C-alpha cells in the first residue's frame, strides 16, 4: 500500500489530501479564500499568498487527522509546483520541502494541469474502484478551468500533448467576467450555473466562436463582449470614454436569468463543437491515436450544463467518459497526491532545490 500526502496552493485554495494507491482519497481538505477575494471580484495575489501561509499547516494537519494517520505512515510528499501564482505556489512548495526534509520522505513535483486530468480517476471509497474504471488510452483530454481551456491528445496520464487552446480568455475566466457584467459575485461560474437553470438559453443569440475551419483553439472574448452589449447596449464612444445607455439594474430578473442561460449555452456549445471537431479530425487523420476515452478536468467540469452535454456527446461518439466527482473538479490536493503515485512507482523524485514555476512549458 502506498500513501501519498498531496499539497496544493497554486491559486486561492489551500489544500492537502492523502490518497491511497493513487486512487482512494482518504482525506481531502480545501480551505477556500473566496470571501477574501470577493470584494475585488478576482484573486489578489498578495492576499492569496498571505492566506496560504496562515492556512497551510492547519490544512496539512487536518488531512492527516481525517485520514487517521501520522506523517510516519506516509510514503511520499507531493506538491503542485507549476503553473500558478508564484507567491501562492511558493507557500505549498516550501511546506512540502520542509516536511520531506524533516521526515526524510521523498518529494514529488506535480503539474497542476496534468493533475486536473487525473482527477477523474479518484474515488471516495474502496468499493468505488471497480464501478469507476480508469480512462482507456489513447484519450482526448479537456481541461476547463479559470486558467485553461485546452484540448489534449493523451497517451497516458503523463504523456499529454496540447492540440488546441484558448487564444484569449479561459472559459472559467469568461464565466467570472460574465458574472461581473451581471453583478452576481465571485467566483462567477457556480453563480451563473445556478441562475441559468431558471432562464431560457435561447432568449439571446450569443456567438459561438469557432475560429478558422479545422482549428481546435477556443476564443471566449467575443462572447464576453456580446454579453456586455446585451446587458448595457452598444456604447457611444470608445475605450475609457465609452458611455453605455443602461446597466444591469435596468433589466428585469427574468432578463438576467435569460442572459445567464444564453451565455452558458453559448460557452458550453463552443466547447462541444470543438470536441466534435477534435474527435472527427483524429479519427480521420491519425486513426491509431483515435480516443477511447474523453477525460475532463478543471473547475468548470463542475458545471451542470457541461456535464449533461459531455455525457450525451460521449455516448453519441462511443467514448468512455471520465469526469471527476464534484469534490475533485475544483482545485484540490487529492489530484496532486493521486497523480504522484505514478511518479512514485517510476522512482521519479524531486530534490530540495525544487522551484515554484509560474507557467508550465507546453501545457
Which residues are annotated as part of the binding site for Fe cation? 112, 116, 331
118, 175, 328, 344: residue in contact with ligand KG4 (rule CB under 6 A): 175
CB atoms within 10 A of CB 43: 19
What is the Rg, in whole angstroms, of the alpha carbon atoms belonging to the chain?
21
Question: Does residue 55 touch Zn ion according to CB under 5 A?
Answer: no
CB count, 10 Å around CB of 38?
Answer: 12
Is 22 a binding residue for ligand KG4 by CB under 6 A? The answer is no
Q: How far is the CB of 85 from Zn ion (least distance, A)?
A: 11
Stretch that binds Zn ion, among 138-146, 179-187, 264-272, 300-308 (CB under 5 A): 138-146
The stretch near ligand KG4 (CB under 6 A) out of 167-175, 283-291, 313-321, 335-343 is 167-175
Displacement of CA 306 from its chain's centroid (Å): 13
Q: How many CA atoms lie within 13 A of 339 on its CB side?
A: 27
146 binds ligand KG4 (CB under 6 A): yes
Three-state secondary-structure class, residue 338: helix
147 is an interface residue for ligand KG4 by CB under 6 A: yes
Q: Is 145 in the site for Zn ion (CB under 5 A)?
A: yes
Contact flag: residue 331 with ligand KG4 (CB under 6 A): yes
Among 8, 13, 322, 331, binds Zn ion (CB under 5 A): 331
For ligand KG4, the closer CB: 282 or 337: 337
| From candidates 109, 176, 217, 258, binder to ligand KG4 by CB under 6 A | 176
CA distance 171 to 324: 18
- For the CB of residue 260, give the shortest distance to ligand KG4 in the complex, in Å: 11
In sequence order, what are the residues at sequence separation of 6 or more whose Cβ sits closer than 8 angstroms to the Cβ of residue 67? 3, 18, 26, 27
Q: Is 176 in the site for Zn ion (CB under 5 A)?
A: no
**Which residue from 36, 31, 40 is spatially nearest to 13, judged by alpha carbons?**
31
Beta strand residue intervals within the chain, DSSP E: 3-8, 13-20, 24-32, 76-82, 107-111, 139-144, 149-154, 160-165, 293-297, 320-322
Cell of residue 237, nine digits: 464612444
Stretch that binds ligand KG4, among 35-43, 60-68, 186-194, 218-226 (CB under 6 A): 186-194
Counting Cα atoms < 13 Å in the Cβ hemisphere of 262 gives: 21
Q: Which stretch binds ligand KG4 (CB under 6 A): 24-32, 39-47, 102-110, 141-149?
A: 141-149
Instruction: Select from 193, 217, 258, 322 the one that contacts ligand KG4 (CB under 6 A).
Output: 193
Total of chain residues touching Zn ion, rule CB under 5 A: 2
CB of 334 to Zn ion, least distance (A): 13
Size of the site for ligand KG4 (CB under 6 A): 20
Strand order in the sheet with 139-144: 160-165, 149-154, 139-144, 293-297, 320-322
Amino acid at each position: 500500500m502506498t500513501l501519498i500526502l498531496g499539497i496544493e496552493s497554486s491559486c486561492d485554495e489551500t489544500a492537502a489530501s492523502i490518497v491511497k494507491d493513487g486512487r482512494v482519497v482518504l482525506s481531502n481538505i480545501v480551505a477556500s479564500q473566496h470571501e477574501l477575494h470577493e470584494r475585488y471580484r478576482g484573486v489578489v495575489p498578495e492576499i492569496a499568498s498571505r492566506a496560504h501561509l496562515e492556512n497551510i499547516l492547519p490544512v496539512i494537519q487536518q488531512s492527516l487527522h481525517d485520514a487517521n494517520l501520522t506523517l510516519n505512515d506516509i510514503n511520499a510528499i507531493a506538491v503542485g509546483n507549476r503553473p500558478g501564482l508564484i507567491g501562492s505556489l511558493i507557500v505549498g512548495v516550501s511546506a512540502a520541502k520542509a516536511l520531506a526534509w524533516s521526515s526524510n520522505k521523498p518529494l514529488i513535483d506535480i503539474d497542476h494541469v496534468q493533475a486536473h486530468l487525473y482527477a477523474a480517476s479518484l474515488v471516495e471509497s474502496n468499493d468505488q474502484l471497480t464501478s469507476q474504471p480508469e480512462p482507456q488510452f489513447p484519450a482526448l483530454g479537456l481541461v476547463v478551468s479559470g486558467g485553461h481551456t485546452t484540448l489534449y491528445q493523451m497517451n497516458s496520464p503523463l504523456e499529454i500533448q496540447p492540440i488546441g487552446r484558448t487564444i484569449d480568455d479561459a472559459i472559467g475566466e469568461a464565466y467570472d467576467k460574465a458574472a461581473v457584467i451581471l453583478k452576481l459575485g465571485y467566483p462567477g461560474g457556480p453563480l451563473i450555473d445556478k441562475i441559468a437553470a431558471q432562464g431560457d438559453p435561447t432568449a439571446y443569440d450569443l456567438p459561438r466562436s469557432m475560429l478558422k475551419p479545422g482549428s481546435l483553439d477556443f476564443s471566449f472574448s467575443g462572447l464576453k463582449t456580446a454579453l456586455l452589449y446585451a446587458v448595457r447596449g452598444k456604447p457611444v464612444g470608445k475605450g475609457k470614454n465609452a458611455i453605455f445607455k443602461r446597466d444591469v439594474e435596468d433589466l428585469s430578473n427574468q432578463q438576467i436569468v435569460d442572459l445567464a442561460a444564453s451565455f452558458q449555452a453559448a460557452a458550453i456549445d463552443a466547447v462541444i463543437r470543438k470536441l466534435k471537431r477534435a474527435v472527427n479530425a483524429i479519427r480521420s487523420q491519425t486513426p491509431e491515436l483515435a480516443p477511447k476515452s474523453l477525460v475532463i478536468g478543471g473547475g468548470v467540469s463542475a458545471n451542470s450544463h457541461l456535464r449533461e452535454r459531455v455525457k450525451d456527446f460521449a455516448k453519441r461518439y462511443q467514448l468512455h467518459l471520465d469526469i471527476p466527482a464534484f469534490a475533485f473538479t475544483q482545485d484540490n490536493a487529492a489530484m496532486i497526491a493521486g497523480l504522484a503515485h505514478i511518479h512514485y512507482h517510476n522512482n521519479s523524485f524531486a530534490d530540495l532545490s525544487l522551484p515554484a514555476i509560474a507557467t508550465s512549458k507546453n501545457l
